[in-house]
Amino acid sequence: MRSKLSRMLGSILAPALLVAAGPLPGDDRTAHGGFTGEVKPVLYVADVEESAPFFRDVLGFELLSYAGAEDDPYYADLSAGGLKLGLHEPAAPGQEANVGRQRIYFRVEDLERHRARVAAWGAEPGPVVETGWMDYFIVRDPDGHEIVFAVTDPERHPIDPW
């Protein structure tokens, strides 16, 4: 049986929680902002003509296209497992500071097989790191970005970060 204080607090707090959790008038949060679930990360790179072949030939991405002058592209569109990724040379003041400073994660089916493939294609993958939420290894691209390949196993990783 609940105490008089818990019944009183419950009757005061419960309506407040329901009001706070609900959408504000005119704010339809059930639409989730119209997000489609698609995301396209873009990494700043110093030289797209150096980076794109690394992602294609060493990491296994599909090179879709370049943008810019045929003899001087500034952007490359790549794909991996249905995910698109962009590589972009800095185009505005201050963007140079972002070259080589990002980390991006890609989920793979077989971590050891992918690590062996990346090594055979000429990269130096880091060691496999086992955590409670995923196992992964890191490869640095020519600019220093950390490209992380990871696997999760529901039996070993209780938290699915994807």
CATH number, domain containing residue 67: 3.10.180.10
- Residue segments in the chain with a per-residue pLDDT below the cut of 70: 1-37
Tell whether 101 is covered by a domain: yes
SS3 string of the chain? CCCHHHHHHHHHHHHHHHHHHCCCCCCCHHHHHHCCCCCCCEEECCCHHHHHHHHHHHCCCEEEEEEEECCEEEEEEEEECCEEEEEECCCCCCHHHHCCCCEEEEECCCHHHHHHHHHHCCCCCCCCEECCCCEEEEEECCCCCEEEEEECCCCCCCCCCC
Domain with 132 in it: 42-151
Tell whether 12 is covered by a domain: no
Tell whether 37 is covered by a domain: no
- How high is the pLDDT of residue 8? 38
Tell whether 92 is covered by a domain: yes
Structurally, the chain folds into a number of domains equal to 1
pTM of the model as a whole: 0.72
Tell whether 26 is covered by a domain: no
